[in-house]
Structure 1
Amino acid sequence: MHIHREGYIIILITAVFLLAFNVVGYLYWFPNTVTMLLSLIVSLLVFGLIVQFFRVPHRTLTRHERQVIAPADGTVVVIEETNEGEYFKSPRRQVSIFMSPLNVHVNFNPVSGTVRYFKYFPGKYLVAWHPKSSTENERTTIVLQLANGVEVLLRQIAGAVARRIVWYVKEGQTVEQGTELGFIKFGSRIDVFLPLDAEVKVSIGEKTKGGVTVLAELAD
């Protein structure tokens, strides 16, 4: 396991703040050893939570040209046929993954292909499971086209806590399955829009591992 680069500055700022807080507390605020000890314990817990949020575990990634791999760790909260109105403007199979603050928050490219479309939208910060979060929250839309012409759309969505979406792709770029797509800080959601003939391999409530769990299998 290692710490993601998106966390370096936040972890450093947190460490400096907590250290300063406890030093000042020791000198001026805390009346006894018990209070000081409690402050240290709480500070360590807060620091530990921040560090674990930016963790990147070592994994054996799943790679298969017909399989769509989960782009994130989390819980499957939506599997439905819906009309995707931004890019396809036609029915697609939607699979959505909710990422809690305790999940690994690296996002992975679910397939190998070319980035055919990318757009960033500023927006609201509704809770990530809200039905309108897909169209009203801060978000990105990324379309990956496989070698056979099939297109898969991903939407990174900020939640009520997440206030920063990071992406590492651009239109025209070629990406490989399992490489880093981006990062969403502090809780969020990813929607994946698949062809209607794709066979979904997960179920509602199932836990996914980004880069590992098979989300769906594409038709020949």
Structure 2
Amino acid sequence: MFHKEGYKIMAFAAIILIAINVLSYSLINTYWIKFSVLLVSIFLFLLIIQFFRNPKRRTQHNDAHIVAPVDGKVVAIEEVYEKEYFKDKRLQVSIFMSPLNVHVTRHPVSGTVIYSKYHPGKFLVAWHPKSSEENERTTVVVKNKLAGEVLYRQIAGALAKRIVNYAEEGSEVIQGSDSGFIKFGSRVDVLLPADTPLTVKLNQKMKGGLSVIAKIEED
């Protein structure tokens, strides 16, 4: 199954690649060149459609769990000063998506969206220290009855040229449901209270909507 954000791009790519092959078969007489053009076209199309795959995930809803919002690898676990919304120190878990990962963003907790803002910006590589502050990004905060306010930030990278964010302030969302899409990958940061007990470590592979990154201790 494919994400709706990819339909137009996939259709456009298919039209262009078909046109290229029609031209190659009418203008090129050498069979192996025509066959090579076909193989390259198939490879490129498969590469494009894999960016937009959208596998169904069955999230085990649990207010005491904060799940990974995206597929990818944990590239940073650090205490940072969050100056956009909380304006205090937070524990940041950063998940990097390679071009081969699923690029759907999912809600890490259930609750009410109390903050959602888009920031235009640069397209530095996702692991650049300033990418979380200078790149194109969206910041979303969901208030959960047990976990409190959980912030997650979609950050565009060198290849990603458009972030899609479905989270609207005042809306009720469900853990693991579709929150948005970063076209052609990048990074998502999750910011939690500094004393949050994490269940992940550096370089660990994540599955969006399934992998638990933190467990909140119930009183």
Per the shorter chain, which TM-score range? over 0.9
Q: Deviations over 1:127-178 (max 9, x none)?
A: 0111100000000110111124711101100000000000111111111101
Structure-2 residue corresponding to 1:141: 139
**2:162 aligned residue (147, 161, 164):** 164
The one-character-per-residue Cα deviations of 1:151-209 (angstroms, maximum 9, x if unpaired) are 11011000000000001111111111011000000021000000112111111111100
Amino acid at match of 1:22: N
Which ranges of 4 or more aligned residues in structure 1 deviate by more than 2 Å? none
Name the counterpart of 1:116. 114
Q: How do 1:171-210 residues align onto structure 2 when only pairs under 5 Å count?
A: 171-210=169-208
Give yes or no for the alignment of 1:17 onto 2:7.
Answer: no
Deviations 1:45-68 (A, max 9, x none): 000011111111233323211110
1:20 corresponds to which letter in structure 2?
Answer: A
2:65 to 64, 67, 75: 67
The TM-score, its normalising length taken from structure 1, stands at 0.96
Residue pairs, 1:145-156, within 5 angstroms: 145-148=143-146, 150-156=148-154
Per-residue CA distance 1:95-150 (angstroms, 9 max, x = gap): 00011111001100000011111111000000011110000000011011112471
Check conservation: 2:51, 2:100, Cα contact below 8 A: yes
Does the 8 Å CA contact 1:83/1:91 hold for their aligned counterparts? yes
* Root-mean-square deviation over aligned CA pairs: 1.0
Select the residue among 125, 128, 131 that pairs with 2:126. 128
TM-score calculated relative to the size of structure 2 = 0.97
Q: Whole-Å Cα distance in 2 between the matches of residues 14 and 57 of structure 1? A: 22
SS at match of 2:40: helix
Q: Distance in 2 between matches of 1:203 and 1:172?
A: 33
- Please state how far the C-alpha of 1:219 moved relative to its aligned partner: 3.0
Could you say what secondary structure the match of 2:175 adopts?
coil
Give the number of equivalent residue pairs: 218
For the residues of structure 2 that align with 1:50 and 1:72, how far apart are their CA atoms? Answer: 19
CA contact (8 A) 1:123 1:139 kept: yes
Kept after mapping to 1: 8 A contact 2:2/2:53: yes
State, as a whole percentage, how many aligned pairs show the same letter.
54
CA displacement at 1:11 relative to structure 2: 0.4
